[in-house]
């Protein structure tokens, strides 16, 4: 099992993942982000998870699930003795504005509104916003924008993320006013729940 994004500087990555991955499998979730760092309260290990194949970020990730994951992960990490210092563990969903990390994410969330920050301008823009149409035949990200349907090479995307607009119809996201809505839609997902331990 792979975690889409890891930032584990200073930790034994292999040992940490060996402790984390069985817990994710047991709870039927996939890791999206696993980040080790500090904040104003000290050392922090953050894990975001989602249900496999879920098309809505956060779908099925409840506060109870995060609490159970946090408890089981704390036990596994203590047993593995992989983090020597005192730290906090936060478990949650990646949220409604989930970052997109690779081709599978761009395919999976087709039909949803996204914002892409590009390494170089395309159609005169460094930031594009529109309705995601997955990947085209050339493997580029297909995006319906106010400039029309664009193909954005994956390697040209610096950061991509889903965009949530409260109260907006999901069928109209990313389209200029008066444009015909996309036949594919999506729904709203819950706020990011978090459990904490340690």
- Residue with the two structure tokens 């999506």: 186
- Residue with the two structure tokens 């930031």: 127
pLDDT number for residue 78: 95
pLDDT number for residue 171: 44
Q: What angle do CA 93, 96, 97 make, to 5 degrees?
A: 105
Closest alpha carbon to 183 in 170, 169, 171, 168: 171
Alpha-carbon distance 46 to 63, whole Å? 15
pTM beyond 0.85: the answer is no
CATH architecture of the domain with residue range 99-162: Roll (2.30)
CATH architecture of the domain with residue range 5-96+190-197: 2-Layer Sandwich (3.30)
Strands (E) located in 75-166: 87-92, 99-100, 113-122, 125-135, 141-145, 148-152, 157-162
Q: Six-digit token pair at 57?
A: 């970020």
Alpha-carbon distance 145 to 115, whole Å? 10
- Helix/strand number for the chain, H first, E second: 3, 11
Taking the chain (198 residues) in runs of 10, the rounded mean pLDDT of each run is 89 96 96 95 96 89 96 96 94 94 94 96 92 94 93 96 74 40 33 40
If you ran DSSP here, which 8-state letter would residue 98 be given? P
Q: What angle do CA 41, 43, 48 make, to 5 degrees?
A: 100
pLDDT number for residue 168: 54
Alpha-carbon distance 111 to 28, whole Å? 25
Residues of the chain with CATH 3.30.300.70: 5-96+190-197
Residues of the chain with CATH 2.30.30.100: 99-162
Q: CB neighbours of 60 closer than 8 A, spacing ≥ 6?
A: 50, 51, 54
The values of phi and psi at residue 23, to 5°, are -70, -40
């Amino acid at each position: 099992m792979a975690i889409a994004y890891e930032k584990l500087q200073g930790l034994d990555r292999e040992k940490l993942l060996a402790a984390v991955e069985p817990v994710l499998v047991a709870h039927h979730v996939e890791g999206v982000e696993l980040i080790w760092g500090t904040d104003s309260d000290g050392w922090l290990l953050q894990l975001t998870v989602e249900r496999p194949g879920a098309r809505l970020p956060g779908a099925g990730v409840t506060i109870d699930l995060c609490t159970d994951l946090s408890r089981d992960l704390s036990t596994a990490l203590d047993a593995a003795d992989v983090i020597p210092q005192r730290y906090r563990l936060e478990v949650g969903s990646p949220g409604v504005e989930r970052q997109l990390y690779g081709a599978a994410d761009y395919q999976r969330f087709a039909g949803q509104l996204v914002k892409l920050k590009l390494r170089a301008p395309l159609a005169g823009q460094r930031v594009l916003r529109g309705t995601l149409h997955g990947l085209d035949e050339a493997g580029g990200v297909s995006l319906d924008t106010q400039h029309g349907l664009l193909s954005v090479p994956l390697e040209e995307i610096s950061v991509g993320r889903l965009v949530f607009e409260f109260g907006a119809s999901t069928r109209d996201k990313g389209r200029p006013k008066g444009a015909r809505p996309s036949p594919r839609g999506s729904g709203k997902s819950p706020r990011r729940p978090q459990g904490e331990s340690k």
